[in-house]
Amino acid sequence: MINTRTMLNALSVGMTGSLNQRIRTPAGVRVGFSDAPHNNDSLTIRELAVIHDSGLGNVPQRTILVEPDSSTIKGMMSDAERATDAIMKAVAI
């Protein structure tokens, strides 16, 4: 997963293989792996991610995205609150 950096790059917004899609119902953003082709094989980056994440065939399971621990969730909530406050202040001007 690190040799070609394809999977790692696909976790970064704007990079090949990443999915970053604005959705209106419910309002939000959908992120993940796209259906872009993976290198020169017949798999898409999303299909390869599923294979690694699930451990299918002869590939050992390599969990890619896991639920964050409580400390990380608390930090994410704090970051979101600060960002929302900053946006609200900017809009009020």
**Is 35 among the domain residues?**
yes
**Is 17 among the domain residues?**
yes
Q: Which helix (H) or strand (E) covers residue 59, if one does?
A: none
How many structural domains compose the chain? 1
Domain containing 24 equals: 6-66
**Is 43 among the domain residues?**
yes
- Which distant-in-sequence residues (6+ apart) come within 8 Å of 1 by Cβ? 7, 8, 52, 62
**Tens of pLDDT along 46-92?**
898 888 889 988 989 988 778 899 999 999 999 999 999 999 998 87
More confident residue, 3 or 49: 49
Q: Which pLDDT value is given to residue 6?
A: 77
Q: Which pLDDT value is given to residue 2?
A: 63
**Is 90 among the domain residues?**
no
Q: Which of 76, 19, 69 is nearest to 44 (CA)?
A: 19
Residue 19's DSSP bridge partners are: 32
**Is 80 among the domain residues?**
no
**Is 14 among the domain residues?**
yes
Highest mean pLDDT among 4-8, 10-14, 60-64: 60-64
**Is 45 among the domain residues?**
yes
